[in-house]
Amino acid sequence: MMTYLGYALTGGLAVAVALLIRAVGQRILGSKESVDE
């Protein structure tokens, strides 16, 4: 049971962390110029 709970928590936490990394990364690494093909 604990194992299953661990996986469920991992899933929820991973989404939150990934979205946080996305936002912070975009702020730091997002450039002004956009290179399109």
Partner 1 sequence: MSELALLLPVGLFLAAAVLCALLPRGWSFVITLATPIISALVALQVMQEGQQFTHALLDYTLVPVAVDALGLLMMGLFHLAAFIGALFIAAEKDRLQHGAMLAYFAGGMGAVMAGDWISFFVFFEIIALAGAGLVFARRTEQSTQAGVRYFLFQVGAGVMVLAGLLMNGLTTGQWLIGPVSLSQTAGWFLLIGLGIKAGFPLLHIWLVDAYPKASLAGLSVLVAVTTKVGIVALMKVFPGEAVLVPIGTVMALWPIVYVLNESDLRRVLAYSMMIQLGLMVVAVGVGTPTALDGVSLHIAMDVLFKMTLFMALALVLANLGTTHADQLKGLGKHWPVVAACVAVASLANMAIPFTGGFVSKKLMLSAIETSTLPQWLYFVLVSLSVVGLLYAWVRITWRVFFQAADAHSLKPSKDALPRLQLLALLLPVTLLVLTGFVPGLLDGLRPFGSDTDVVTAKKIISQLLMLGTAGLVYWLLAKKGLGLPTQRLARMADIGVVYRFVLTTLPQAIAQKWRTGVEATTPSLIQAMRFVAQPKWPLQHLGQSWPIGAMALWVAVIFAVLLLLGLVNS
**Using CB under 8 A, which residues numbered 1 to 37 contact partner 1?**
3-4, 6-16, 18-19, 21-22, 24-26, 29-37
Pairwise CA distance, residues 16 & 22, whole Å: 10
Both tokens of 28, joined, read 């730091």
State in angstroms the smallest separation of the CB of 37 from partner 1.
6
Q: How far is the CB of 1 from partner 1 (least distance, A)?
A: 11
Task: Catalog residues that contact partner 1 under the rule CB under 8 A.
Answer: 3-4, 6-16, 18-19, 21-22, 24-26, 29-37
